[in-house]
Amino acid sequence: MDRRNFIKTGAAGTVGLTLAGAMTHLPIYGATVKGANDKIVLALIGCGGRGLGCIINCCKINSNVVIKTVCDVNRSKLSNAAAHVEKYLGYKPVLAEDMRTVFDDRDVDAVWIATPEHWHCLAGIWACQAGKDVYVEKNLSVNIRESRKLAEAAAKYDRIVQVGLQNRSASQGFSAREYIQSGKLGKIVAVNTYFMLGEGKFTEAPEAPVPAWLDWDKWLGPAPYRPFSPSIVSESGRGGWQQYWAYSGGKLDDEASHTLDFTRMVLGDPQHPKSVFAWGANNAYGSNSEVPETQFVAWDFGDYLLTAEGGTSFNYMYKAPQEIRNDATKFPNWRNYSARVDIYGTEGLMYLGRHGGGWQVIGADNKIVAEDGAIFPDNEHQKNFIECIRSRKRPNGFIEECHRSATLVNIGNIACRVGNKQLYFDGKTELFTNSKEANKLAKGTYRKGYELPEKV
Ligand SMILES: NC(=O)c1ccc[n+]([C@@H]2O[C@H](COP(=O)([O-])OP(=O)(O)OC[C@H]3O[C@@H](n4cnc5c(N)ncnc54)[C@H](O)[C@@H]3O)[C@@H](O)[C@H]2O)c1
């Protein structure tokens, strides 16, 4: 059945009748408050390491939450996902190779979207239109317009959309925000974030026939057609899709999306910046990747400058080890910590960690004047999603704010892609005022059959 027709008939037959016949953007089904004993049925779209691990964990730490379907265009990962669900949860899920069959399934309350980034928003919009709640991984989008459209769809269809930026549920984020709002850090004058990793050279492998385990056309989905290369997709691992602008936004997207969103959160979620300057180059190893090996970005927020510094050639910098992530009493060695935020106030310098690690404030004479420890909040974020599906309250990873955070990533990358420039940004129209080329990238392009709807 056509998906849109199904939505119409589904609305007439379910909660619509009792809820409010007069509401024009009526939740289709599953939008009533659910009790703790009501079962919540999930489906996973994108069965890579991230999605599979999270959704199984989510079912373990929440009661009455089950996975009905696992969906992937990689048949090897699909059967691997089914085996994992059976092993860890004790039942066999339904297998699907086309996400549209998941949206058409009335049993499914919510979908967990953990595909590469170029699919996140379109899949999220389709899910909202079909009346599903959504957990969608970061980075939310590969351009500005598509996450704006997903935010519109979430509002229009009254859906719970939780973006997978776990630090939105981090206790140290709430306490850091309170500390800053209390004025104890003084006036904020500068904020530096880091995404420094040591990953080495990327070399694209030549084109190859599409392997039997992959539906390449559906993997590409909305992205422009190009021949398959084993550099992009791997049968069992992640592959190199994050090296391409069409599917991702490089390390700024993969790594800095977390620190930038966390920064916005603790600063009280500021509106869009006035301008962005970015510089990127393959200046370390001479990779032939589209995304740069080294990238520096500066966003002008008027009262302060926010920067992100990083790339792949910083092998003396480290993400937090597990003992820091899982122990609220331990703090990282800030100087070598590759996923940190430094917030400079007139009264102190706050170091904030994104992988647990908590925060510490350094005052005059190098003294620690305040601190709060924390563990990495994956569980909290997954619990918050399920609680919000039940209560219909706004989730911590609220789409509107996460769209603004994703916009920092997207405009930072666009400023590199148009030639390492400074671009002026109009926060109301979400377009640039000094570059037509940049505005094309802000809107993206979509393949026939996978168009981004103008009206969601
Ligand atoms: N929040 C976090 O801390 C965190 C951590 C790791 C990854 N992530 C994000 O999670 C997402 C997935 O990451 P990953 O490491 O699991 O990547 P991955 O490449 O291993 O998995 C993505 C899966 O999506 C599948 N897929 C692609 N197109 C599809 C389609 N049309 N329908 C169904 N499945 C499709 C792929 O075949 C693949 O199995 C990414 O967006 C990544 O940035 C978030």
Determine the residue type at 401.
Answer: E
- Ligand 1 in reach of 115 Cβ (< 6 A): yes
Q: What is the pLDDT of residue 162?
A: 98
Q: Which atom of ligand 1 is nearest to the CA of 117?
A: 41
Q: What angle do CA 455, 72, 130 make, to 5 degrees?
A: 30
Neighbours of 10 (CB within 10 A): 18
- Distance from the alpha carbon of residue 81 to the mean position of ligand 1, in angstroms: 13
Determine the residue type at 440.
Answer: K
Q: What is the pLDDT of residue 357?
A: 85
- Ligand 1 in reach of 168 Cβ (< 6 A): no
First to last CA, the chain: 20
Q: What is the pLDDT of residue 32?
A: 66
Domain-by-domain residue ranges, the chain? 3-165
Neighbours of 144 (CB within 10 A): 27
- Ligand 1 in reach of 249 Cβ (< 6 A): no
Q: Which atom of ligand 1 is nearest to the CA of 241?
A: 19
- Ligand 1 in reach of 254 Cβ (< 6 A): yes
Q: What 3-state DSSP class applies to 425?
A: strand
- Ligand 1 in reach of 85 Cβ (< 6 A): no
Estimate the share of the chain in helix, then strand, then coil, as percent rounded to the nearest 5. Answer: 35, 20, 45
Q: What is the pLDDT of residue 35?
A: 82
Max CA distance (Å), the chain: 69
- Distance from the alpha carbon of residue 241 to the mean position of ligand 1, in angstroms: 10
Minimal-distance CA residue to ligand 1 atom 25:
46
Residue with tokens 């079962």: 39
Mutate which of 50, 75, 113 to test ligand 1's pocket (most atoms within 8 Å of Cβ)?
Answer: 50
The residues, any chain, with a CB within 8 Å of residue 97's CB and separated by 6 or more, are: 71, 72, 73, 75, 78, 215, 218
Q: Which atom of ligand 1 is nearest to the CA of 98?
A: 32
- Ligand 1 in reach of 218 Cβ (< 6 A): yes
Mind listing the pLDDT tens digit of every residue in the chain (456 residues)? 333 333 332 332 222 222 222 223 334 444 568 887 899 999 999 999 999 999 999 999 999 999 999 999 999 999 999 999 999 999 999 999 999 999 999 999 999 999 999 999 999 999 999 999 999 999 999 999 999 999 999 999 999 999 999 999 999 999 999 999 999 999 999 999 999 999 999 999 999 999 999 999 999 999 999 999 999 999 999 999 999 999 999 999 999 999 999 999 999 999 999 999 999 999 999 999 999 999 999 999 999 999 999 999 999 999 988 889 999 999 999 999 999 999 999 999 999 999 888 999 999 999 999 999 989 999 999 999 999 999 999 999 999 999 999 999 999 999 999 999 999 999 999 999 999 999 999 999 999 999 999 999
Tell me the CATH architecture of domain 3-165. 3-Layer(aba) Sandwich (3.40)
- Ligand 1 in reach of 247 Cβ (< 6 A): no
- Ligand 1 in reach of 45 Cβ (< 6 A): yes
Alpha carbon distances (Å) from 171 to 55, 341, 388, 396: 22, 16, 18, 12
Residue 281's DSSP bridge partners are 294
Residue with tokens 């400023």: 415
CA-based nearest residue to 109, from 58, 74, 146, 52: 58
Q: What 3-state DSSP class applies to 251?
A: helix
- Ligand 1 in reach of 98 Cβ (< 6 A): no
CA-based nearest residue to 148, from 401, 416, 394, 388: 401
- Distance from the alpha carbon of residue 51 to the mean position of ligand 1, in angstroms: 6
- Distance from the alpha carbon of residue 413 to the mean position of ligand 1, in angstroms: 20
Minimal-distance CA residue to ligand 1 atom 12:
114
| Distance of alpha carbon 142 from alpha carbon 454, whole angstroms | 17
Q: What is the pLDDT of residue 37?
A: 82
- Distance from the alpha carbon of residue 72 to the mean position of ligand 1, in angstroms: 10
- Ligand 1 in reach of 167 Cβ (< 6 A): no
> Beta strands 349-353 and 294-300: pairing type?
unpaired
